[in-house]
Amino acid sequence: MEPGVANSHTANPGNFDAIQVRGANDRGQSPTDEKKDKGGWKTAIILLVNQALATLAFFGVGVNLVLFLTRVLRQDSAEAANNVSKWTGTVYIFSLIGAFLSDSYWGRYLTCSIFQIIFVVGLGLLSLTSWRFLINPAGCGNEETKCREPSSVGVGVFYLSIYLVALGYGGHQPTLATFGADQFDEKNEKHRNAREAFFSYFYFALNVGSLFSNTILVYYEDSGMWTMGFLVSLASAIVALVSYLAGYKNYRYVKAYGNPVIRVAQVFVAAFRKCKVHSGSEDQLYEVDGPESAIKGSRKIMHSSDLR
């Protein structure tokens, strides 16, 4: 038995302070980078800035998209509203995909990096397409002047670009919030309080970004300066990506813990196969020492009768 670690067979089941939760601090098993100089507010602030800039970039496209479709692509209002609704829905679908990949396989830092790169590529393609294929003649798309009938190539590239924007923004948004929470050590009381404050600031950053896009960018786009509005969104997304990547040495990282669907299925299969098995006495249900039942990237949770 290791010094300082209570034997799980003899410890009082109700005294959880006497039992070390294995898997959290074992060498090679740590789910989190525990170095003292990692994480905290110095990296959380980077993520808050990233959130504000990415939100500015996204809403710089989405808030006036119906007007763009009617004035530049010459769609009627019903068709434009329907297309924007479909596009908005894909953002939420891609959020589920990004969260799944982050927690199961890629980890949060890599997931945010990949989807933000896709986001920047989509905005760059959108800016290029609107300037090269869609805004014709120059200055069209305001309240008085509609643009000429767009080419099929221009329309196709436009839809590709906005769905890349949806994929990039939707894929990294839920992961960014969780990655921000990872910057605070939940075992530290001050960090726990800071984590709660982080989510409030995260929501504030989202609103700051959307405020800028819904005021200044909307004004310019409504005046027909669509390409300039998209370029501002592109610049904002690039700054967000560069600032995010620049902090990689200082982040705290939580390892991906594998496909949760498989583990849930294993629980149901095991419960079905053992539904008639006698559970035995309570002291036999507590975890044994060692990593045998630990899941990679996760902490062990001690057995308890509290939920019976």
Q: What is the mean pLDDT of each run of 10 residues along the chain (308 residues)?
A: 41 37 35 63 93 95 91 91 95 93 90 96 95 84 82 93 96 92 81 85 93 87 86 96 93 82 82 77 60 59 62
Q: Please give the pLDDT value at position 296.
A: 60
Q: Is residue 78 part of a domain?
A: yes
Q: Please give the pLDDT value at position 160.
A: 97
What is the domain-level CATH number for residue 191? 1.20.1250.20
Q: Please give the pLDDT value at position 193.
A: 81
Q: Is residue 45 part of a domain?
A: yes
> What is the spatial distance between Cα 103 and Cα 262, in angstroms, rounded to a whole number?
13
Q: Is residue 20 part of a domain?
A: no
Any residues with CB less than 8 A from the CB of 89 and at least 6 apart, and which?
Answer: none
HSE-up of residue 248 (Cα within 13 Å, Cβ side):
9
User: Partners of 32 in the beta sheet?
Assistant: 254
Burial 272-301 (b: 16+ CB within 10 A, else e): eeeeeeeeeeeeeebbeeeeeebeebbbbe
Domain containing 63 equals 41-246
Q: Is residue 302 part of a domain?
A: no
Q: Is residue 126 part of a domain?
A: yes
Q: Please give the pLDDT value at position 103.
A: 86
Q: Please give the pLDDT value at position 28.
A: 35
Q: Which helix (H) or strand (E) holds 189?
A: helix 189-212
Question: Model's pTM, two decimal places?
Answer: 0.78
Any residues with CB less than 8 A from the CB of 144 and at least 6 apart, and which?
Answer: none
| Count of the separate structural domains present in the chain | 1
Q: Is residue 237 part of a domain?
A: yes
Q: Is residue 277 part of a domain?
A: no
Q: Please give the pLDDT value at position 36.
A: 60
Q: Is residue 99 part of a domain?
A: yes
Residue written as tokens 């294993």?
266
Strand extents, DSSP E, 129-210? none
Phi, psi of 229 (to 5 degrees): -60, -40
